[in-house]
Chains A and B, each alone.
Chain A
Amino acid sequence: MKKLLSALVLLSVTLFATAQDKKKYIATMEKNVAALDTTRDGKQLQNLANTFERIASAEKAEWLPSYYAAYCYVNMTYSTKGDEIDTYCDRADKFIKVADSISPNNSEIYTLRAQIASARISVNPMTRGQKYGMESGEWREKAKELDKTNPRPYYLEGTAYYFTPAMFGGGKDKAKPVFQKALEMYETFKPASTIAPNWGKNSCNYFIKECDKK
């Protein structure tokens, strides 16, 4: 009896603890993912990246903490210049690879890979445009293939056209329909959970407006 009781107690403790841990994980993630929406400042992004890194360190079976850490670093590239961009991209790559090893063939992870490759172009568009543009395109297509409802690869494709000069096959005219398609998809897209990736819609709207400006 006593044995059974202690076994029950232990089991309930473990279950309770696991449930508690899961709650703690979701709660922490929700708080920090929400913070991402409003953060563009480099220092704050760094702190958020650090938080996600710590969560990743504790939650080894979860891909989202590493994914968001990578997301922070790729967003930090937009406020850096020159060779430093590569340093941030390398860091983002490191985290996205961890996420990929936990959750292979994930459309969101391939989307972020595409974004990292695009970010590397800005180090030197003249010499890098072709190589990384192509790499980014490949990841993007793979992301589309893996989840046909994911609007983010389309959004990224729009930005790729937007930032490519017309003479190299880009331009606002080409970008706009792609952004519009992405926006349609955003309208119907349902994120898998409260902490699953759900970014890009506002920026997509912003770019559509920019495309209309002459």
Chain B
Amino acid sequence: MKRILTLYVLILLSSQGILAQTKVSGKILDQKKQPLPGVNVFIKDTYDGASTDANGNFSFTAADTGDVIIVCSFIGFEQIEKKVKLTSSDFTFNTSMKESLNELKVVTISAGTIEASDERKTTVLKPLDIVTTAGAQGDIVGALKTLPGAQQIGESEGLFVRGGDGSETKTIIDGMMVNKPFFSSAPDIASRGRFSPFLFKGTIFSTGGYSAQYGQGMSSVLALETQDLPGQTSSTLAISSVGIGGGYNKLWKEKNASAGFDLNYANLLPYFKLVKQTPEYTRAPQFSGGSVNFRKKTSPSGMLKFYGYFNLSDLGIKTASIDSTNGFKNLFELNNSDVYTNLTYKERLGEKWMMNIGASYSTNVDNIKTWTDSIRSQSDMTQGRLVFTRGIGKLSIIRFGGEYQYTFDEVKVDGAKYGYNYHVKNSIYDNYSAQFIEADIYLTPKLVWRAGARGEHTTIEKEYVISPRTSVAYKLGDKSQISFAYGQFYQKPDREYLFYTKIPGYNKATHYIANIQRVDDLHTLRAEVYYKKYDNLTNLIDSTNSGFGYAQGLDIFWRDKKTIDGVDYWISYTYIETKRKYQTYPKEVTPPFAATHTASLVFKKFFEKLNLSSGFTYTYASGRPYYNPNNPDFMSDRTIDYHSLGINGAYLRQVKNCFAVLAFSVTNVIGNDQIFGYRYSYDLQRSAAVTPPAKRFFFVGLFLSFGQNRSKEVIENNN
């Protein structure tokens, strides 16, 4: 009985933890051996523990003895759990904790890449920046032209990057190439991109050294990633000085699928009546089109997306013929129809694997009429793509896959000139296939090495080429990093040449890039130097690929969201030295699409009290070369410098569930003369400057978006 009682007392006592006690103390450090204050050090599954003080020291009394687990837990650090044996004597526990990895502590490859994304933090731009950049007029390419590396080209569409022409930049949507990313245009008048910036949640603008996932762009790729499911069901309505548009996007109640459409119509006739244009428009530009989309979350990690786009456009233009002295005008009438479709599916396969599948079909037909000719030009592309990605360890990945593109190009010309009729028809088919493999190997979280290669084959060239690509990035500190990139990039010759002659071999560029950048919440500083070598460029003089060239330069970007209250501005500067011998060039010269110096200042200010967001963009480019046939020194003339000041403003207002934006913009406010080059008459007696069709472009628009968020309604009704 006594024994039981003793036991009873003993158990009671022990249950209150008076029996055995151990003093546990020690010091917790970080990886740099600096003391860590605030760390929670405790015995697992008990109350016993303490937080470290300012010197990283802790001390507490543990009730248990024997085998226990000591836990060290602290925000931003990897938790430590360690088995120890406590006896009744004092116990010392010292350790150092490792910072846990998050996006900000892990290096990413930045050489040649400028990214706009909401999801990633270390990007230099946000998708919203593209819409709010003055002078860009809501055009993706317009906004990207304010970034270093891109040229200010006004006479034709496209991104001219680091000494490359517009055809050297390829546009990719969700991994699939877009054959005709821009509206068809009249000669010497640049057109806009077809796709609205609101479609995309992420934009990667590569100015070189890009991933082996992509190909056929010797200078650059513009990789766009479409939005996922919308946050709510909504409808939109837009009325502007150039047209009207509207759309509806429905989010299913279960929030796992959405479907939508939009329609728009634009006609520049009323605008051209108000604002005089230099060329005479026989038919003002008209655009009618729309898009449909469907997105479905097929599982927690699976996503199916479909996007379909169609557009019809029409314009007619008469321009004074330079060869005529009696006021004769050339005619150019263009009727275009374009369809683009994109279907993608991605899903996780088990723990480590990810699969991306895509298919796309597009067709584009231009019907062009001049006084003498009627031209029909068709360009179709069908493609498929499959990519597998596998995670290795915490950070590293390996990615491989392939793509296939079938293209059909045809040009038919029916004409009558100098008294006889002619009919020409040229078609080319091409089967392009590519395979790639690429690994991002994290040697440490601060050091990543990307190694990859891409193999490409076209039936038109019947040659298989392999282009190696590699880059390294190293994080110098929390905010700064350096990176280097090298890569070879092949591109098949332009279809215009392929119609008429068989030009052997791909064009080729080799990039060497070094980059240093520092990004924090409020500032970005980026500097990049590069050397780019061109080989096997198309030489039309002897129909070979014996052309060559190089480009080298410096790109600087500075963005500051802090110094001036409510102001966000960026400055970019581009210096380039480039020469090439290609097409019909008799010698190696700087091509007309490269200005030695280009600089942009983009300024955005938000006036909170006025509900007004406003900004301006000032762009400068030094004069560009142009061909003057009267000057024996080929391509040695320079245009005047280019200046452009664009302003924009948006007044924002929310009334109940309607969100309204009243936006305006004006390009070239000051009215600087902008000359993109010169055209010479056949007899070389006369020349005419290539200029924009009007000095300025004015835009006013009202955008309404009606959200149908049920919780909002609830709030309104409750009040």
Docked-complex contact A46 and B608, CB < 8 angstroms: no
Interface assignment of B688: CB less than 8 Å from any CB of chain A: no
The CA of A109 and the CA of B238, in the complex, are separated in Å by 41
Residues A83 and B521 in contact, CB atoms below 8 Å apart: yes
Interface residues of A in 1-46 (CB under 8 A from B): 2, 5-6, 9, 13, 16-17, 20, 24, 28, 43, 46
Q: How far is the CA of A5 from the CA of B709 in the complex (A)?
A: 66
Given known contacts A167-B611, A167-B652, A47 and B47 CB-to-CB distance under 8 angstroms: no
Check A88 against B521 for contact (C-beta < 8 Å).
no
- The answer to the question of B653 belonging to the interface, with a C-beta cut-off of 8 Å to chain A, is yes
- Is A46 a contact partner of B12 (Cβ separation < 8 A)? no
A91-B49 CB under 8 A given contacts A13-B12, A167-B652: no
Chain A residues in 8 Å Cβ range of B16: 20
B75 within 8 A of A: yes
Does B51 contact A47, Cβ atoms closer than 8 Å? yes
Using Cβ atoms and an 8 Å threshold, which residues of chain B touch A124?
Answer: 126
The residues in A between 123 and 157 inclusive whose CB is less than 8 angstroms from any CB of B are 124, 126-128, 130-131, 134, 137-138, 140-141, 157
Nearest CB on A from B417, distance (A): 57
| Interface membership of A54, Cβ < 8 A | yes
B682 within 8 A of A: no
Task: Let me know if B128 and A20 touch, CB within 8 A.
Answer: no
Give chain B nearest CB distance to A92 CB in angstroms: 10
Whether B653 contacts A57 by the Cβ 8 Å rule is: no
Is there contact, CB below 8 Å, between B4 and A16? no
B48 touches A54 (CB 8 A): yes
Instruction: Give the residue name and chain of the B residue nearest to A171 (CB).
Output: B654
Contact B709 A137 (CB under 8 A): yes
The stretch of B36-44, B180-188, B306-314, B689-697 in contact with A is: B36-44
Are B711 and A138 closer than 8 Å at their CB atoms? Answer: yes
Any chain A CB within 8 A of the CB of B715? Answer: yes
Given contacts A13-B8, A54-B46, A57-B42, contact A73 B75 (CB under 8 A): yes
B719 touches A177 (CB 8 A): yes
Which residues in window 102-128 of A have CB below 8 A to B? Answer: 124, 126-128
Determine the chain B residues whose CB is within 8 A of the CB of A43 once the complex forms.
37-38
Which residues of chain B from 619 to 639 have any CB-CB distance to chain A below 8 Å in the complex? none
**Interchain CB contact (< 8 A) of A50 among B51, B521, B608, B653:** B51
Tell me, yes or no, whether A61 is within 8 Å of chain B by CB: no
CB of B71 within 8 A of chain A?
yes
Contact B8 A9 (CB under 8 A): yes
Cβ of B90 within 8 Å of any chain A Cβ, yes or no, is no
Query: In the bound complex, what is the Cα–Cα distance between A76 and B654 (angstroms)?
Result: 32
Chain A, residue nearest B118 (CB): A127
**A165-B719 contact in complex given A17-B15, A54-B40, C-beta closer than 8 Å:** no
For the complex of A and B, the 7 pairs showing the least CB-CB separation, nearest first, are A50-B40, A167-B611, A82-B521, A169-B654, A17-B15, A46-B38, A137-B711
Given A50-B50, A137-B715, 15 other A-B residues pairs in contact with their CB atoms under 8 A: A43-B37, A43-B38, A47-B38, A54-B46, A55-B47, A81-B521, A82-B520, A87-B102, A124-B126, A134-B232, A138-B711, A141-B711, A165-B611, A168-B652, A174-B719
Residue ranges of B at the interface with A (Cβ–Cβ < 8 Å): 1, 4, 7-8, 11-12, 15-16, 37-40, 42, 44-51, 71, 73, 75-76, 102, 104, 118, 121, 126-128, 231-232, 520-522, 608, 611, 652-654, 656, 659, 709, 711-712, 714-715, 718-719
